Every structure is written in structure tokens, then in C-alpha cells.
Amino acid sequence: MAGGAQFTPADTEPRYEVFHTDCAARDVVGHATSRWGIWVLISLQRNDLRFYELRESIQGISEKMLAQSLRALVQDGLIWRQVEPTTPPQVTYGLTEFGRDVSEPLVELFDRITRRVAPTAG
């Protein structure tokens, strides 16, 4: 919580701090719940995946947005990236411990919505 968070001293309500400040957590929340980030995290919940596997798993995503999302999530420490120096090169992505922590509620969110909105799907 860098800088000076400014709150009304009289306000005793324990409001969420991130609502009011530029907190790093807010960025991570943004990345984890971003348009494509959430599907990347959910996809990797089941098993590690290669770049093209992620691209094929998440319909509609472009290579650009996939690469961009992956970079942000790696940066945040949610997923790891492993490069096999073969030809052709193989790059595998997977969830870190933090990433598993974060993707769990995302999967739960997704499941609850799916059960309610499209209970017959699957």
C-alpha cells in the first residue's frame, strides 16, 4: 500500500482499502479477471499446457492477446513458463502455487454461474 491512503478519520467503516488506492493487488485482480486471463487460469487448472494448446483451448483468443495475458500472469507470479531448447522449441505454462490459489475461486465462480445459467450444458 504505497503512498498515502487518504481516508476520513471519522469513518469507522472497515471498507476495502483497494477500492481507494492504487494497490498492487488491484492490478493482479485485474489480470486474473481480465477478459482472457480468467480462461487461461482455468485452462491451466487441469494440467500444464503448451502455447498452441492454450490457443486452441480458448476459442476466439488471438496469439497476441494470449501472449500478452501470459506475460502479465507470469509477471504477477500466477503462472510459470518453461522453455525446452528443442527444435521446434516447446514452451510450457503451468500454475504456480499462488496461481492455484487464485484459480480455485475462479473455477468455483465459473461453476456456480454455469450451474445456474446453463444447468444442462456439458
Partner DNA sequence: CCGTATCCGCGATGATACTG
Partner DNA sequence: CAGTATCATCGCGGATACGG
The residues binding DNA (CB under 7 A) are 34-36, 50-53, 60-65, 67-68, 70-71, 81, 88-92
Report what 9 binds from a copy of itself, DNA, none; CB cut-off 5-8 Å by kind.
none
Give the integer Cα–Cα distance in Å for 2 and 21.
9
Q: How many residues does the chain have?
A: 122
Give the integer Cα–Cα distance in Å for 93 and 103.
14
- A 10 A CB-CB count for 13 gives 6
Using alpha carbons, select from 9, 12, 90, 14 the residue that is nearest to residue 48. Answer: 90
Give the integer Cα–Cα distance in Å for 75 and 103.
16
The only residue of 3, 9, 12, 14 in contact with a copy of itself, by rule CB under 8 A: 14
* 65 vs 106 by CB, closer to DNA: 65
User: Which of positions 37-66 make contact with a copy of itself (CB under 8 A)?
Assistant: 38-39, 42-43, 47-50, 53, 56-59
Looking at the DSSP bridge assignments, the partners of residue 93 are: 49, 81
Report what 41 binds from a copy of itself, DNA, none; CB cut-off 5-8 Å by kind.
none
Report what 63 binds from DNA, a copy of itself, none; CB cut-off 5-8 Å by kind.
DNA
Residue 83 as a binder of a copy of itself (CB under 8 A): the answer is: no
